[in-house]
């Protein structure tokens, strides 16, 4: 599956605008996007087995979670209205994390 970052960014933006609770929760944001992707493929996420889900993920049939996360971060950097309550807290910890990685 070809990665289309513009499409991913557009979808992430729509979700951040529509669902404020997803602005601080990457896991829920990713799960929400995957749920819709599965529905568009005719798969009810309530009826799929773990193996079937992992197979779809491994085949690249679902958007890469890192692409979703990076799109969310970039959109929040550029658009104040898309930032969650924890945005400033995450930014404040950036220096601390960078120093730990050195």
Kindly give the confidence (pLDDT) of every residue in the chain, 102 residues in length, as a single tens digit, with 9 standing for 90 and above. 455 668 999 999 999 999 999 999 999 999 999 999 999 999 999 999 999 999 999 999 999 999 999 999 999 999 999 998 887 777 777 766 667 777
Domain boundaries along the sequence of the chain: 5-101
CA angle 34, 88, 77 (to 5 degrees): 60
Taking the whole predicted model, whether its pTM rises above 0.95 is answered as: no
Length, in residues, of the chain: 102
Q: What's the rounded Cα separation, in Å, for the pair 23 and 5?
A: 19
CB 92 within 8 Å of CB 27: no
DSSP code for 47: S
Structure tokens at 56: 């779809």
Name the residue among 83, 89, 86 with its Cα closest to residue 20: 83
The per-residue pLDDT for 87 is: 78
């Amino acid at each position: 599956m070809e990665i289309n970052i513009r499409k991913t960014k557009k979808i992430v933006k729509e979700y951040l605008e529509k669902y404020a609770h997803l602005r601080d929760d990457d896991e829920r944001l990713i799960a929400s996007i995957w749920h819709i992707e599965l529905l568009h493929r005719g798969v009810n996420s309530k009826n799929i087995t773990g193996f079937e889900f992992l197979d779809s993920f491994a085949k690249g049939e679902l958007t890469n979670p890192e692409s979703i996360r990076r799109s969310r971060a970039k959109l929040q950097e550029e658009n104040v209205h898309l930032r969650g309550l924890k945005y400033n807290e995450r930014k404040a910890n950036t220096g601390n994390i960078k120093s730990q990685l050195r």
